Structure 1
Amino acid sequence: MATEFPQSLIPEHDAARLRTLHHYQIVNTTAEPIFDDYVAWAAQLFNTPIALISLVDESYVHFKAVAGAEGVPGLNRPDSMCSAAILLDTPVVTGDYSAESCRLISTDVAQAFGLNFYAGSALRMPDGARIGMLAVIGREARSISSTEEVTLSRLAALVSRTIELRLHYLLAQRPDGWEAAQRELAESLDENAALARYIKSRNSRVDLDDDDVLALVNRRLKSLENILERRMQVVPQAQ
């Protein structure tokens, strides 16, 4: 079934959404290792050549982190599937990347790169605003299971929480705390990446519909959630 998008790429509440986006002081900033680690793990888990964290600004979609398409800073808003995906409250999956898959955007750029698959879950902040997407992208048409959708949403929630944590350290003028938080999260993500490589060495791919594999991945997700919650409790809260 095709995804049903709204009639307009720019929703009525976009001004409020943009205020939330810019509140986090992350738009058009330099690369930060922890976000690179998140997209690298996402690409492994979903067996895709590309994964990214996008931030949808007024006219441009900034890629905060990209795995598999390094050097691409972003896309104009009308050219990015992320621009349409943030309009929906559920994960967005398109298995063909044809013009018919989403009439709100131009798919010319995606087609020029030979892309035929997109699955993304929104970066949702505490006020409910969807400021961007965590997306996995491939060249072969496919779908994802309900279990994979849940996992993608949990990953997006981790990225959102990390963006919150980053701001709290920034407002507290604690760059040392943010660096330490990144190192701790990175150590956990390194273990996650090693786990994914091990699973692939045995099965050639990560199958999240395999109960044993899913249990291992869920434990890793929970570990990251615990780190974020513990650090959010000790860092001064953003006002």
Structure 2
Amino acid sequence: MPPKMNTAAKITRPSVSSLQQPDENERLEVLRNYQILDSPPEKAFDDLVRLAAYICGTTISLVSLIDAERQWFKANLGLERFSETHRDAAFCQYAMLSDDVFEVSDTTLDPLFQQNPLVVSNPNIRFYAGAALVSPEGLPLGTICALDTQPRSLNDQQREAMRILAREVVAHLELRRARLQLEQEQQKLEGLLRMANNAAETMFVGSRNEIFVKQDHKLVRVHTNDIRYVEALGDYVNIYTSRERYTVYSTMKELEAKLPLREFARVHRKYIVCLDRITSIEGDIMLVDNGRGTDRQVNPTPVPIGNSYKAALLSRLNLI
């Protein structure tokens, strides 16, 4: 059973009038720049709420982010049937404005929360403690909080732990934002390099005897007469020459359009081959040579032939 508390100890939160109100439009802009609202669960945040509940001895813990009209739970332990609530019902909308741990020892004795729907009905919250998540810009985003269905009070060590956990949540938010920005910059770079690839081909390869591929942030000239075959690999393709393998961000359709049509053929949804490199065909498998000059037939590579491509391939071969 939780310890009995005298009346003076039951409300330990700051008064609402003392809470500093930030510019709401600026706050929401910073929150949305994290691109985290309505994102799937992530283990880093789930682990932090489990730790908060363990430290505070509560059955419920949340990472709650305060949107314009709702509080949305990025991590949720103990209230899994809720993904969000209306902002009017959020303890966290007050806690995020406090400069220290915002604690309500018994919600039924606090005039601000006595009629809160989360108090008067399921889940019947009686205890709340939340530490604000403050962005590097100094703007509150929400809280990491611990809640329970019976009154209680934190000790000094538990409050300090909540402050530390709040900083950890913000650190993970910053790491997540940095990763997303890096991915977006990488996509932009891929687009620019693809444009450069196209421009280079237009300028230098009117006859399609050469292509330029990106490798380690540089463009490499590849002679098409040295390409043996091309293999699709998800969002990338592997280009196999006699000496090298180049992995580039492209599609088979894009690459097929850049190769000399008279010399290359699509033989499978995942393969384009140089017709001059085919050494033999048996059933639905062809062998493609690997070497150069007199070594061209050493250790040939088997490449499958798709049923829908076989007739067109055979029509291009000089059969007798």
TM-score by length of 1: 0.67
How many positions carry a matched residue from both structures? 173
Partner of 2:133: 123
Deviation track 1:102-155 (CA, whole Å, cap 9, x = no partner) reads 26x951223311211001101111011110100001112111112211111001
Deviation track 1:14-58 (CA, whole Å, cap 9, x = no partner) reads 211111111111112121122111111211121110000000001
Task: Report the aligned-residue RMSD.
Answer: 2.2
CA distance 1:79–1:9, shift in 2 (3 Å):
farther
Contact 1:6–1:87 (CA under 8 A) maintained in structure 2: no
Partner of 1:60: 70
Partner of 2:39: 29
Inter-partner Cα distance in structure 1 for 2:155 and 2:111: 19
CA distance 1:33–1:12, shift in 2 (3 Å):
closer
Partner of 1:46: 56
Contact 2:106–2:126 (CA under 8 A) maintained in structure 1: yes
CA distance 1:5–1:17, shift in 2 (3 Å):
farther
2:88 pairs with 1:78: yes
Deviation track 1:144-183 (CA, whole Å, cap 9, x = no partner) reads 1122111110011001100000010111018xxxxxxxxx
Larger RCO, structures 1/2 (Cα 8 Å, 6+ apart): 1
In structure 2, what residue type is equivalent to 1:108? P
Contact 1:99–1:106 (CA under 8 A) maintained in structure 2: no
2:118 pairs with 1:109: yes
Partner of 2:253: none
Partner of 2:104: 94
Instruction: Give 1 or 2: higher helix fraction.
Output: 1
% identical aligned pairs: 29
Contact 1:51–1:136 (CA under 8 A) maintained in structure 2: yes
Inter-partner Cα distance in structure 2 for 1:99 and 1:56: 25
Deviation track 1:172-211 (CA, whole Å, cap 9, x = no partner) reads 018xxxxxxxxxxxxxxxxxxxxxxxxxxxxxxxxxxxxx
TM-score by length of 2: 0.51
Instruction: Give 1 or 2: higher strand fraction.
Output: 2
Inter-partner Cα distance in structure 1 for 2:136 and 2:94: 21
Deviation at 1:90, TM superposition (A): 1.1
In structure 1, what residue type is equivalent to 2:110? E
5+ unaligned residues in a row in structure 2: which ranges?
A: 1-7, 185-320
Runs of 4+, deviation exceeding 4 Å: 7-10
5+ unaligned residues in a row in structure 1: which ranges?
A: 175-239
CA distance 1:107–1:9, shift in 2 (3 Å):
farther
